[in-house]
DNA sequence: TGTACATCAGTGAACGCGCGTTCACTGATGTAC
DNA sequence: TGTACATCAGTGAACGCGCGTTCACTGATGTAC
């Protein structure tokens, strides 16, 4: 299981720990990203992790970012060959939910990692960081750091394409984004860790398709 | 803090522990419902809890049920005096989100309590139990145990009222429920423990109102 | 080209924490006769 | 009405767990001269 190292120095321990964290998160979500276990799997002392991450939370954040990247990539892959802007938007929704159902652990760590829920008082920032911004409703949105294919960016792109096609008023982009994101995120959450969790996959897929169609119809109406 | 008991027998330890659990959940969500702390606050030995709950999970489930009751009650309260079916639906959506923003800890425990997310394989049941059923899409739905004012029931009632008013086809009830529930739940989740968590309350409220209006428009279109 | 030395990436053992849970037990309560 | 006794609701101490984190340390690497 543990690849025995022949060198004292690991080479790329940072990446190796994130990869191990992804494996852990895949099976058990954010709470399963255990620092000791990640180092164990990497064949390294627990202490070694602190050379690369300030604490466990920093590791979990890195894993969350990586999971979000995977999500973006998966959604993007579902869009290949699609040019019609309406279909493009539909694929964002389908891809978002499909990823959550296919990889509930990664979906979990991507969105439920650090901030278990916002406690009392106002938060320090804007949550997870790399997938924020859409729908903040105040002027041009700063691009998220690094994540080119972040789900929220893909959603935004699809909506922009609708605007270009004359199928959506520019002033409707933000509300539309809000409705679409809330809709698919809510369904994904209800289906992976909520009351819908027990339903068979086929039923969830059918419901998801209908939901996405309704959302798209609501937006392009 | 701890009310000193004068009797050896507590009286209603079951309820007292759930109440203590609600206090804990209110501040820190599901993960803060700690059995030992609940007994401490009740002025009772940790062991005593096992006379009333099989294990910690059973306690958390009871707290989740109580929190869901509070949620239903809050939504119901927001509907007082409202008779127009469209407004009725709107109030369900507003109330759902408002409760999540007002009581993120209770919202958390109500929906994210036991099943952190559905692990590998098919689940044993249908999730949280008392708020399931809408949108399962197969015939008449068994009434949830006890929770008369469960949020999903209030949503269903509002949609039924729209049907009675001739504003919604009966075959559209389930899809509409799916879209509404997903929409408000998603927004509530993004706002309390997701990327929208850092936004000021006023911005969230404004966005929520717009979202609910859009959802209602999408349903009654 | 060789050597001194600063720098960096690891080691291995240990600590304290708070938790859920279990042990054998005792104090209070209510019912049968 | 009093007493024996089953039943139930608590006690108090302890256990083991696995975690995140810290200690002083050593092995490997690369750069200056």
Q: What is the mean pLDDT of each run of 10 residues along chain A (221 residues)?
A: 66 95 96 97 96 96 97 97 97 98 97 64 37 47 54 96 97 96 98 92 97 96 82
| Res B123: pLDDT | 37
Report which listed range, B113-117, B138-142, B155-159, is most confident: B155-159
Angle made by CA atoms A148, A150, A152, in degrees to the nearest 5? 125
Residue B129 reports pLDDT greater than 60:
no
Q: Please answer whether residues B107 and B188 qualify as being in contact, where contact means their C-beta atoms are separated by less than 8 angstroms.
A: yes
Nucleotides of D under 7 A from a protein CB: 9-14, 18-24, 27-29
Is A168's Cβ below 8 Å from some Cβ in B? no
Asked if A105 has any chain B CB less than 8 Å from its own CB, the reply is yes
Give the CA B6 to C1' D4 distance in Å: 28
Sign of the C-alpha dihedral computed for residues B168, B170, B172 and B173 taken in this order? positive
Q: Do A193 and B131 touch (CB under 8 A)?
A: no
Specify the pTM.
0.90
**pLDDT, mean of residues B55-77:** 97
What's residue A9's pLDDT?
78
Smallest Cβ–Cβ distance between B118 and the set A175, A181, A197 belongs to A197
**Mind telling me how many Å the CA of A194 is from chain B's nearest CA?**
6
Question: Which of A23, A169, A196 has the most B C-beta neighbours within 10 Å, making it the best mutation to test the interface with B?
Answer: A196
The more confident residue out of B130 and B8 is B8
Q: Which of B197, B204, B206 to mutate to test the interface with A (most CBs of A within 10 A)?
A: B197
- Chain A residues closer than 8 Å to B207 by CB: 135, 137, 178
Report whether A163 contacts A170 (CB < 8 A): yes
> Cβ of B9 under 8 Å from any chain A Cβ?
no
pLDDT of residue B2: 56
In the stretch 38-67 of chain A, residues with CB closer than 8 A to chain B read none
CA-to-CA distance for B187 and A134, rounded, in angstroms? 13
Give CB contacts under 8 A, 24+ apart, made by A74-79. A74/A98, A74/A99, A74/A102, A75/A99, A75/A149, A75/A151, A75/A154, A76/A149, A76/A154, A79/A154
Listed by number, the residues of chain B in 120-149 with a beta carbon closer than 8 Å to a beta carbon of chain A are 120, 122-129, 131-133, 135-137
Question: What pLDDT, on a 0 to 100 scale, did the predictor assign at position B115?
Answer: 62
What average pLDDT does the segment B202-216 reach?
97
**CB within 8 Å: A182 and B186:** yes
Instruction: Count Cα atoms within 13 angstroms, Cβ side, for A54.
Output: 4
CA angle, A38 then A40 then A45, to 5° = 105
* B126 band by pLDDT with thresholds 50, 70 and 90: very low
Least confident of A68-77, B138-147, B203-212: B138-147
Q: What is the pLDDT of residue B73?
A: 97
Q: Which of residues 12-71 of B touch strand C (CB under 7 A)?
A: 34-37, 46-47, 49-50, 55-57
Neighbours of A102 (CB within 10 A): 13
State the average pLDDT over residues B11-38.
Answer: 96
Q: How far apart are CA B67 and CA A208, in angstroms?
A: 28
Spell out which residues of chain A touch residue B221, defining contact as CB-CB under 8 Å.
218, 221
Å: B37 CA to D11 C1': 17
Q: Does B172 touch chain A (CB under 8 A)?
A: no
CB pair distance less than 8 Å for B187 and A207: no
Distance from CA of A79 to the nearest CA of B (A): 23
Judged by a CB distance cut-off of 8 A, whether residue A93 touches chain B is no
């Amino acid at each position: 299981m543990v690849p025995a190292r022949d060198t004292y120095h690991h080479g790329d321990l940072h990446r190796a720990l994130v990869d191990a964290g992804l494996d852990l998160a895949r099976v058990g979500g954010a709470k399963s990203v255990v620092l000791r276990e990640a180092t164990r799997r990497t064949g390294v002392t627990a202490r070694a992790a602190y050379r690369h991450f300030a604490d466990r939370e920093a590791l979990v954040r890195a894993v969350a970012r990586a999971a979000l990247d995977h999500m973006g990539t998966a959604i993007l892959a579902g869009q290949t060959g699609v040019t019609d802007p309406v279909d493009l938007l539909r694929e964002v929704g389908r891809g978002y939910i499909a990823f959550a159902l296919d990889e509930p652990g990664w979906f979990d760590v991507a969105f439920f990692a650090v901030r278990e829920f916002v406690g009392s008082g106002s938060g320090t920032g804007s949550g997870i960081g790399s997938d924020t911004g859409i729908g903040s409703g105040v002027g041009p949105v700063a691009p998220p750091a690094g994540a080119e294919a972040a789900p929220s960016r893909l959603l935004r792109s699809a909506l922009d394409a609708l605007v270009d096609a004359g199928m959506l008023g520019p002033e409707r982009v933000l509300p539309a984004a809000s409705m679409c994101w809330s809709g698919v995120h809510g369904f994904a959450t209800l289906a992976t860790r909520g009351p819908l969790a027990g339903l068979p996959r086929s039923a969830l897929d059918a419901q998801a398709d209908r939901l996405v169609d309704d959302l798209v119809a609501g937006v392009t109406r």
